Amino acid sequence: MSEVIKARVISGRYTGQTVRVTNVSLDESGRKKAAVFLEDGTRANIMVSELEVIKPEAPAPEVKRPKISMPFMSGSTGSRSLNQTKSLDKKRVEVKPPSQHKAEIVKCEVCGELYDMEARKGRPGKLTECEECFRETEVKVEGSMIFSHKTGGTIEIKKDGQLIHEAPTFDPKNKT
């Protein structure tokens, strides 16, 4: 792309206007004429002798900056991708110390003793039973994944060592 040349008209019909020069040519008489755009956007042909070229301002030095600014990360992060490295630099969630809970003293449904219900939360058994009286309400089962064909995996479930659900076998080529 060619450089834009600006000039000031010093004499003639358009005196004082700043114009943009698009082309300079010679007419039949050998005089130089410039094709220009005037301030209002119209085109005109003006003699070069009536123009004073305005020197372009030196462009400000361009500061080259990286597209993504990353902090220096040492160690094994050198071989990681940019996204992996970014996630390493993220602020971690602060682990807050357990807050002081209010003691909620209630009577046990079974024995009638007083106990702290807040202390029972997250432990096995019902919340309405104390530590001594609780019964395990969850039935423990064991499962093992049986892989057969790509997405045809199923789970075998065992309860107390006894098989209660057998995974169907999948034979993609019907060889059985």
Question: Which tokens is 42 given?
Answer: 């119209």
Residue type, 42: T
pLDDT by 10s per residue, the chain, length 176: 467 889 999 998 899 999 999 988 988 888 899 999 999 989 999 999 999 999 887 777 888 876 665 555 555 555 556 556 566 656 667 777 766 667 788 898 888 888 888 888 878 778 888 888 887 766 677 877 776 666 666 778 887 778 777 766 656 666 65
H or E segment and range at residue 83: helix 82-89
Whether residue 108 contacts residue 129, with contact meaning beta carbons closer than 8 Å, is answered with yes
- d(Cα 146, Cα 154) in Å, to the nearest integer? 5
* pTM of the predicted model over 0.75: no
The HSE-up count of residue 125 (CA atoms within 13 Å, CB side) is: 16
d(CA 54, CA 112): 100
Give the Cα-Cα-Cα angle 67, 72, 73 (nearest 5 degrees): 120
